[in-house]
Each structure stands twice: as C-alpha cells, then as structure tokens.
Structure 1
C-alpha cells in the first residue's frame, strides 16, 4: 500500500529548525509570539475554559502556547514535525516543571487517524500558512476534536495590506521576523479558511483580528481581520 504524502514543506521545517534554540528567548525572532501569547491564551480560555480539558496544540513549535495552556490546568499534547523545536519544548517543560504537558513528533493527519474525537479543544495557531495543504490540516482538526468541542485557528490574510505589514514591514523593515518566514502565496483569506472549516464540519463561532503598533510594540485584539486573524470554530454535538 502506498504511504500517504506527508503534508509538510521540508524547507519550512528546516527554517524553523535552524532557529529552534531561540524559541524561549523573548528577545529573539520569536519575540512576537511571546508578546501575543497572553492575548491568544485569554481569548481561547474565555471561549472554552481550559482547566480540566484535554487539548491538542498542532504545530506547537517550541511550545509557547502549549506551556501556557497547561498552566491553565489543561492536559496538553503539543505536536510538530520539527525535531529540534520539540526537543527545545520538552527541555523547557522539564526545566519549568510544567504539569500535564507532553510533546510528540507526528503530523495532524497521522494523529487524527489514531485518535479521532479524542480532544476537547484543538489549537492550530500560526501553522496553516506553512503547509502545502491547509485544508487537510483543518479536516484533521475536525476529526480530532470531540463532538461539541472547539477548534481554534490563527493565520494571516492574503491581500496587499497583509503583504506590506506582515511580510515587507515585519520581515524586511522592522526585522521582527526572519526574512522568508512567510510566503505571500501561502497566506489564507478568511473566506478560504471559513470554506475549509465548513467543508470539515466545523461551525465558525467567532473571528478576531490581531493588530500591532510597531512604534509602541503593543498588540491588541480587534474586529479587523485584514492582516492577522483568529477563528473559533466548533464541532456540532452528536
């Protein structure tokens, strides 16, 4: 039987593996993730309280969000395909003594085949724009969450404003992110992500934009989804 093609871009994995040792440095290339993490965490926790829930964090990288959700009382499994990033995540969890937190090197599609309808909450943040087939990941998220459970996504819109702010501005002018972090063609419009979610059987419940002032370095949530945005979706109860 032919093995399924892995839904991952080797160049993307290599890109983040090279930076793996800097994941937990708040002044590194991952500084924006550290800065927006409290906003993401509070938004998720406000919609689907994390305490006592079984959570899967897809594309967890060095585990910044995974760690924060575990500290809210959730039982968290973070998955990624970057070996180096996962080693950093595991080491940090050990050093910090974070409870109920595990990591595993596996794809969303592979774990969906193993553990369908096993998680109360699934998060997939800043990951869809880095894979060849985002719709496949969205479907895996839908398969993994229990009926009545929540799936949260965050990604970047594809338009001229997003190109100027998220790529030219963030990567080439302000050097907030390494150059080449994002490819314009891989960015995803909200209408496209909404279509993927509906096709996977997920109902869109809430959208939020994430805005940034480069002068004050402040981030905040808003209704503006023109650049960075997040979706809260829910799988209908059985």
Structure 2
C-alpha cells in the first residue's frame, strides 16, 4: 500500500515545573493513503498529542514524522504552517467556528487557504445545511456547527483529515451522521482519516485500530470487515 505518513520513534515530553511528563514514548507506525484509522485509549494516553504532532500543530521532543518522502521540520514554524495549509485538515470536538462569519463564509475561509479546494456550497449541501448557509454559528445547534466545521475541514481537500473526538459532544443520531460524512469523504476521495475517540463502538468502522496507553502504542489491530457507519449503534 501507498504510505502517506510515517512516525518514527516519536517522543514528546512536557516540563511542568520540575517534573518531566512523557506524553508519548517511542511511538512508530505508518499511515496508508485512503485508509480510515481509529485511535482508542483512556484520557492522558497521548492520543491528542499524537494527532497534533501528525498535523504539525505541536513538535516532537525527538523522533521524526514523514509526509510522503518529506520529514517535518520541527525547527521551522513556517515549514510546519505550510504543511498544515497544504496537506492537513482538522476537526475538533468543539467547533472553533468564526462567530462573525456565516456558515458558508466559514467554509469559504478554508477554500482560500487551499490550492485545490472543494466547492463550499456543495459541501454545505452534503452536510445537509444548504438552508443554513447564511446563518451565524450562534443561530445553529451544536450538531449543525459541527457539520459546518466538517465542511470547512473537507473544503481544503486535505490529504489527511485529523479528527479529535468529533462526536464527543453530540447525541447518538447526530454522531452517526458525522461518522457517515467522514466515511464518505474517506471512500469517495481516497483520503486518509485519523479519528480519536473514547467510544470503542466507533472502532468497528475503521480499517485499522490503534490502541494507546500511558503514551505508548500498545497494539494495532486490522479490521478485516469494517462496518458502515449506519450499521454502528452509538
């Protein structure tokens, strides 16, 4: 399979006063183009830290992340920003929409950052929010805001989509809708999706499942028969 990204011996330490906390300990793996990855693990196991390092938001203390044949340069913030802008999309549990922009304007903002964006109006239609295009975030429910955030992330047409608990604040029905949107993007455009969750049920839709504990990647499980999101009961 075509390797999109590779993590090689990643360590991440935080200094808290006189205490050194090891968030990630010698983590190595490969991510393939077009696969759907679910990362499971308890709070504090290093999942979000890993996601931020993959996306160039945080830097590793040691080790290397490769995007295709290029290594991310921890010492060059401009290089990391260029990587984020060109190749990575982010979806967080809390939507981070611009409150002074409408739904459509929030999505169009991402289009301006991409060299090959998808159509903002089409994406709002795909997330079922064409009728909310001119609404501001304050006039939308949490599920609607999350769908705008997803449309915004997809609009960049990123090679890798990094999702940190995107269904964590949603009811089960809306959560299933979100998972279907992510799965459709993954399959239709052959993009890599990496999704963090505490909900082990969601792992049933993944191609592979990464299990983290205490900053270590303890196990990678291949899911030979992934379920469709609509077949999963949250």
Q: Which has the higher helix share?
A: 1
Pair in the same fold by TM > 0.5: no
Shorter-normalised TM range: 0.3 to 0.5
Q: Which has the higher strand share?
A: 2
Larger Cα Rg: Structure 1 or Structure 2? 2
Query: TM-score w.r.t. structure 1 length?
Result: 0.35
Larger RCO: 1 or 2 (CA < 8 Å, sep 6+): 2
Query: TM-score w.r.t. structure 2 length?
Result: 0.36
